[in-house]
Amino acid sequence: MKTKLLRNIFALALILFSVIGCGRYEEGPCLSFRSPESRLCGKKWQVVSFMKNDSDLTSQWTTNYNWRLYFDGYNDSELDECASFDVYDGNINNATGSWNFDAPDGASFNVSIIHIGFTMMNNTYVFDGIYPLISRIRNKYTILRLKNDELWLEHTDSIQNVYVIKFESN
């Protein structure tokens, strides 16, 4: 009787640790019944925090580029296709581009890495934004947190500057 009870407790603990430990993103959520695409797509994301190596660039961002990012639905077709991506300033679409989850060498998609790139509609030759969220450059980000209303992205550049950009959907 005791061995059955211990075995059941051990099995339950193993299952709980597996479920809690299987979170895809460093900052959560630990468990979600919605796919990453459904949490990301179909809403406008606004920057609420823009950090570079613990320096706060949020006021500079909101003063100059108070953009909202819109991720269109992702097509999981195994063809390495990208979904469209739009940048809004208020209700005006200022830029368009694409995004995709990381899929190294045809392997299954890594939904903790996202690539984003866009160009300005008025002038496709202009670099606009604050690095790494800048036009004409396609950058790779690590998703730290992806909830229905929160998105945290991290990017490390070639000289090891770490950028953390936090978004909220509205």
pLDDT in tens, 70-82: 988 765 555 455 6
Amino acid in the structure at residue 103: A
User: Which structural domain, as residue segments, surrounds residue 144?
Assistant: 2-169
Instruction: Centre a 10 Å sphere on the Cβ of residue 38 and count the other Cβ atoms it contains.
Output: 13
Amino acid in the structure at residue 64: N
The model carries a pTM of 0.77
Count of domains forming the chain: 1
Phi-psi category of residue 71: left, alpha or beta, with phi > 0 → left and psi -120 to 50 → alpha: beta
What tokens does 40 get? 């990301």
Tens digit of each residue's pLDDT (9 = 90 or more) over 85-138: 888 888 888 888 888 887 665 555 678 889 999 988 877 667 888 899 888 889
SS3 151: strand
CATH number of the domain enclosing 157: 2.40.128
Is the pLDDT at 29 greater than 80? The verdict is no
Best-predicted range by mean pLDDT (32-41, 115-124, 138-147):
138-147
Q: Under 8 Å CB-to-CB from 48, ≥6 apart: which residues?
A: 58, 166, 167, 168
Sign of the C-alpha dihedral computed for residues 38, 42, 48 and 54 taken in this order: positive
- Give the span between the Cα atoms of 162 and 51, in whole angstroms: 8
Closest CA to 115 of 126, 129, 106, 104: 104
Token pair 């670099």 is found at: 127
Average pLDDT, the chain: 80
